Amino acid sequence: MNLRDLSYLIAVAEERHFGRAAEACFVSQPTLSTQIRKLESELGVTLVERARGRVLLTPVGEKIVERARAALGAVADMEALARAARDPEAGIVQLGVLPTSGPYLMPHVLRRVRERYPRVQLRLVEEKTDALLSRLRTGGLDAVICALPVEDAGLHVEPLFEEPFVLATPAGHRLAGKDDLGIADLAGEQLLLLEHGHCLRDQALDVCRMAGAAEKGQFQATSLETLREMVAVDVGGITLLPLLAVQPPVARPHSLRLTAFAGRAPARRMAMLWRASAVPAELLGGIATIIRHLPAHLLDPTTLPVHAA
């Protein structure tokens, strides 16, 4: 048994498909299948049920995957321990970010991280929440920035900031520029949302339910950039956008109107997570502190220009 074979098994558990698991591990499908069978032979049990069109883990396979994740995480922590012993403020930090947050947050903090930790190299990995957390648990990432809640006793949660949402509408929409906009004003509206798998989609749906709004089901965007363009060309819906994703210097279509909510706006709570056993916790905590202290105007929707430049 070796760590590589355990990583193959974890990939199969996550993808539920040998072809996709092989792609994720950068090996051929026959190679991955052979190694999984070798692992099963060594353990003397069947780990994966193979049926046409589907891949399922056996009950013992599920338990072994859970322990494999812990083993790979422990190995990553040992490697981090050795790096920290050599220089606690040097090395590579693999940081996972959301596609709805990373491109808009990190430009505001990378320079400050480099200034404080000149011998640290941040490597950013952009994925949806579930994929990021899976890689974090197995040691493929050192830390993850995502939206709360995340329920996992094995992870340390470091709150960062609360990011308000703003309403994005076509310029001529009845709610565009409304001074006293509240969630109740969304009643009866159709919201354009991201595709399944984005936590931002779930957060927007929560607001929909509170307001009596509904999703415009014919449209699901793959990115925030697509979403804002769909609203701008007025396909018959509005949306909620996280504030950092609309702050300058992010480009904005001229026909898109942004309106802040009056009073307490709907928002998402962002946090940085790492394994509770992680060795470079002091370094990760220092990076989290830098991110937490964003310039105040970036998270204040009242300072946002409502018109595109």
Instruction: Provide the residue type at 64 as one letter.
Output: I
156, 122: one domain: yes
Of 302, 289, 275, 304, the C-alpha closest to 161 is 289
Instruction: Report CA-CA distances (Å) from 288 to 87, 90, 109, 201, 236.
Output: 19, 16, 10, 25, 40
Q: Looking at the domain assignment, is residue 242 inside a domain?
A: yes
Which residues are CB-contacts of 118 (< 8 A; sequence separation ≥ 6)?
Answer: none
What's the predicted TM-score (pTM) here?
A: 0.76
Is 18 a domain residue?
Answer: yes
CA distance 291 to 248: 18
Asked if 282 and 262 sit in the same domain, the reply is no
Contact 165, 207 (CB under 8 A): yes
Number of alpha carbons in the 13 Å side-chain half-sphere of residue 91 = 19
Write down which residue in 66, 87, 115 finishes a domain.
Answer: 66
Q: Are residues 113 and 88 in the same domain?
A: yes
190-194/214-221 β-pairing: parallel
* Same domain, residue pair 212 and 157: no
Tell which of 66, 86, 103 closes a domain.
66
Which domain covers residue 53, as residue numbers? 3-66
In a domain, 100, yes or no: yes
For the domain that residue 191 is a member of, what is the CATH number?
Answer: 3.40.190.10
Same domain for 135 and 281, yes or no, is yes
Question: Cβ–Cβ contacts within 10 Å for residue 89, how many?
Answer: 14
Whether residues 169 and 256 share a domain: the answer is yes
Verify that 260 and 172 share a domain, yes or no: yes
CATH code of residue 29: 1.10.10.10
For the chain, 309 residues long, give each residue's pLDDT as a single digit of tens. Answer: 888 999 999 888 888 888 888 888 889 999 999 999 999 999 999 999 887 767 888 989 988 988 888 888 888 878 777 776 776 677 889 999 999 999 999 999 999 999 999 989 899 999 999 999 988 988 889 999 999 999 888 899 999 999 999 999 998 899 999 989 999 999 999 999 998 888 999 998 898 888 888 888 777 888 999 999 999 998 888 999 999 999 988 887 888 999 999 988 899 999 999 998 776 788 999 999 999 999 999 999 888 765 443
In a shared domain, residues 154 and 174:
no
**184 and 140, same structural domain?**
no
What sign has the CA pseudo-torsion 74, 141, 26, 34?
positive
The count of structural domains within the chain is: 3
Q: 309 in a domain, yes or no? A: no
Together in a domain, 291 and 152: yes
Do 225 and 88 share a domain, yes or no? Answer: no
Residue 304 lies in a domain: no
Q: Are 152 and 231 in a shared domain?
A: no
Last residue in a domain, options 32, 48, 66:
66
Treating both helix axes as pointing N-terminal to C-terminal, what angle do 29-43 and 3-15 enclose, rounded to 10 degrees? 110
The answer to whether residue 201 is domain-embedded is yes
Query: Most distant CA pair in the chain: distance in Å?
Result: 68
Within a domain: 215: yes
